Chains A and B, each alone.
Chain A
Amino acid sequence: MNFYTKINKYILERFPTMWNTHFVWMILICLCTHVLYFGLGYASLDVELLKEYGVRNFFFKGSYFSIYCIIGLLALIYFGFRYFAHNPFKHFYPIGKIYFWKILGQLFVIFFLYSTVLISFENGLKLKAKKIVTMETVQTEAYKIALATPFLYNNITDYVITNRSYPEPFPCDEVSDLVIGHDSINDFEIKHSIDYKKPYVELDASLYQFGEISQERVDDCNTKEVLDTIYDVSKIYGLARYSIYNFSGKELRSNRKYVNETALIVEEKDVELEKIHNWQKNKDSNAIAKTIQIVKDICKKYNINEQLYPMKMATAGLKQNLNEQQLIRTGFKDYKGYTIGEDVAIDTAPGAVTAVIEADDNDKINGVSQIDYNYFVDIPKFTTLKDNVENLEEEMGTKQLKRETLWILILGSLFFAFCFVMLKYITLKDLILGVFVAGVLLALLALYIGTTEKFKEGNGENRIMRAALIYAALIMGVGFYGFLSNAIKKQLLTKWFIAFATAIFAFPTILLIYIRENSFTEVVKTCETYATKIYSFEFSPWQFLVLALISIFIIFTMIKKMYAKVE
């Protein structure tokens, strides 16, 4: 306690604003919370968690978030008691030119530090995950499981076929495929596909017709130019049956949204495909059994359910696949999928999805359901574990903190800091009254628009924009009038503040959006470049930050004058 008093005395005499904001102690509380949550993150992670649940929003589950809120609330009370009780501004104590920035900066640091507790928690998880299993290990093991997966049969409804290799006589070559349809001009994607030189092929007395797609480019005049014509075997009805499928453990899930990622992983590993084909081709049951045994060991390591009989599986796998002609060596190809809403298309080429789904149905019809379920391994759990480790490694934690998250934390902390700075200068009563005044004005404007049917022109957005501009201008007009003249009393101005401040903040943004909207709809060509610039300006975090800080400073200066103004 003596130490606490001494430190307080030291700060009070030298840094009154820091004393006022409890800065040192708040930083200490934040750091302690960071340490606590790092520990909690470390302690709460185990193998069971890694393989059973997602870790991405783990902080917000259970009591972690509640404890965080309670600590935050208590700290806020501790902070607010002194912060609001001692107000040099209202006592007209001298405040230096950078006083406002000092307070804002301190509050920003406090809020930012407290809001980043989540990162420490995630780093705790990350460290523990590294201790349990490293990224390298999990990737290696994933690869080993992937090798064995073609010989494992899980619940047939759980997987989606996205990876195939095709038998002779399908001399497939890998080519690039073009996708058009994105928003901007000249935007096209090259997707991998399969080129087959002949449009037709006869197999097992059946004639297969290959799909045809074009590689195109859209020029500046919106004209499509055909670059090349290629054939895609994936369009052939039922061809999927003639492929090695079920290759990646990633596929073993009913939710298809990860297929895109899976395709990439499979692509990395597909060098080994030929090896698997050879095992099948040469009926090398020992090799298959060995591979499956590795999976069994991995499952044991992570305590994942398995019912594996390697030799039996190998034999049965070979037999089944030979009988079903499902594993045939020739060329092979992985398909990249892309997300369409919640669902996933397997390939970019039209018809591919249909082909795959129908292939699934065919499999069921042709007796895949007879698969011996003794060959079971709970691959999805390993997949979850792998996903979690990857998430922790790649997306969470300080080093890999996503840029968007960082900006959200920065701007969010700045917003709260600004709110607290302003709360110090205007009373809650004034705030409420201000909101009420603004609300009444808005309601009157809405009534006027509603009854007189103004703003008929333009679409709905434009009408709202116009109304918002008028409203903001009205509020700002009255605010500035009151600020510059003695006609309106100080008390009214402070009540007006909330509407005034909101309008100052909102006006430029609304104006920009309004111009942008109009430039797209009315003067598309001429304003296109300008609109793009506005768009990028509006949503560039750096520029937004600078704009926000300037606006905050203007508002603060105004309040200072407002308070100094006599009633």
Chain B
Amino acid sequence: MFQHKLSEIKYQFDSANDSLGFRLLVDAVLDTNNVSIFNECISLANWQEQNENDTATFKTKCYDLLAKLDNEKINIARTENVLVSAVNIKKMYGKNNFELGPVSIDIIAGQLIGLVGENGNGKTTLLRILAKELSFTEGEIEYPFADRNADDYTLRTKLTYIPQRTPKWFGKVKDNLKLTCAHYGIKPNENEQWVSMLMIRFGLWKFRNHGWDELSSGYKMRFELARTFLRKPRLLLLDEPLANLDILSQQLILEDLKMMGKSLSNPLGIVLSSQQLYEVEKVSDEVVFLQNGKPSSFNNLKNTEGDNVLVVEIEIDNSKESLLSALQSVQIQEIKLIGSNFYIEIKNTDSPTFLQLLLQNKITLKYYRDISLSTRRFFNR
């Protein structure tokens, strides 16, 4: 598996995807848990910082490091272990009669679960329940990874929950990370290396001596993630981590989360809530849609409805009549105008056929998205 990972890194560098290649390289270095390799990676990051424009030499050095990794042996962790098992969780609020659940969810190491839904449908509540921040009315949650005799405080040290609005911290990025590291029992002579590696991995290297006020929202989130990963968490719960981030940062963070979550040596379960449906769907192993507190699984959708029904969102310059006329030959299950977009459900057809029909009937298409396998369709129901 590790060799496969190294091949992928090499492929990315060969394909001139240096940025992605380097991030994967850092992941691989972290997988080794070897401080001497860490030092080499840190030296490389330092060198890059001082020679930003010399990409050719940088790539050569990356290849060198990659070659060294080839000889490393790593301990591959088991990923099939269930970290959290929640069965029929219910949470009732008296004031507005809102009821979350029943929700049943199993989270295994290396899995990334997206939690989507409109505002006020219980995403944050569910995350906080899983993080043991909130009590629940009914159901049962087990944390098989934790020691059964451990008290609640000890258990909560292993559950990491990052709220939407992260609290302000003081001091420098590096100092804060080092303090976290020291608390989690990292050996003093390895503290610097671990912190540096995580800073490199999350793009904080340049900002290591910056304070909270000097970081943008994206980098604050990166800092939180770096701090969280230093804790070597088993379960990571993120509430709207993509809020306030630009589209590029959103993609980067999601990719990072997915890659780090599937670490070979330290895999972890991740649950994140977000309004960015498509981005989340791209990286998630499973998406849970919450509506009025009731969950629908994206996987169920794939299995039950996805095969037969084409669901699309389109925006056109033509009238609804023209559209209906163009689609006369197919079996429309539902069509409705939501904002400026048409939401259309068609039975027994596929995306190319649908697009061909539009072209043949000279429908001017401004926006098109196939949401047959997206939780987006739940929003339109």
Could you list which residues of chain A lie within 8 angstroms of chain B, going by C-beta atoms? 8-9, 12-14, 16, 19-20, 81-82, 85-86, 88, 91-95, 486, 560-561, 563-567
Contact = CB atoms under 8 A, between A and B. Distances in A.
12 contacts: A9-B178, A13-B178, A14-B182, A20-B179, A86-B171, A92-B153, A93-B180, A94-B185, A486-B135, A561-B151, A564-B132, A567-B134
Contact of B179 (A16, A92, A486): A16
Interface string B162-193: 00000001110001101111111100110110
A20 B175 CA distance: 11
Contact of A93 (B170, B175, B184, B192): B184
Nearest to B151: A564
A567 B129 CA distance: 10
B157 interface: yes
Contacts of B156: 92, 564
Interface residues of B, number: 30
Contacts, number: 73
A489 to B, nearest CB: 9
Given A93-B157, A94-B154, A564-B153, A16 B135 contact: no
Given A12-B182, A13-B182, A567 B154 contact: no
B183 to A, nearest CB: 4
Nearest to A20: B179
A85 B169 contact: yes
Contacts of A19: 179, 182
- The residue in A19, A92, A94, A565 that gathers the most chain B C-beta atoms within 10 A of its C-beta is A92
Contacts of A86: 169-171, 176, 179
A12 B171 CA distance: 13
Contacts of A13: 178, 181-182, 188-189, 191-192
Nearest to B227: A91
Given A14-B188, A94-B183, A566-B133, A560 B153 contact: yes
Contacts of B178: 9, 12-13
B192 to A, nearest CB: 7
Nearest to B176: A86
B153 A567 contact: no
B54 interface: no
Given A12-B182, A13-B178, A567-B134, A561 B171 contact: no
B52 interface: no
Interface in B133-172: 133-135, 151-157, 159, 169-171
Interface in B227-282: 231
Contacts of B155: 564
Contacts of B231: 93
A87 to B, nearest CB: 10
B215 to A, nearest CB: 16
A8 B191 CA distance: 13
Contact of A88 (B151, B183, B185): B183
A250 B309 CA distance: 112
Contact of A566 (B132, B176, B180, B185): B132
Given A19-B179, A561-B153, A564-B151, 15 more contacts: A9-B178, A12-B175, A13-B188, A13-B192, A20-B179, A81-B170, A86-B171, A91-B180, A93-B180, A93-B184, A486-B135, A563-B153, A565-B152, A566-B133, A567-B135
Contacts of B152: 561, 564-566
Contacts of A8: 175
B214 to A, nearest CB: 16
A93 B231 CA distance: 8
A427 B159 CA distance: 23
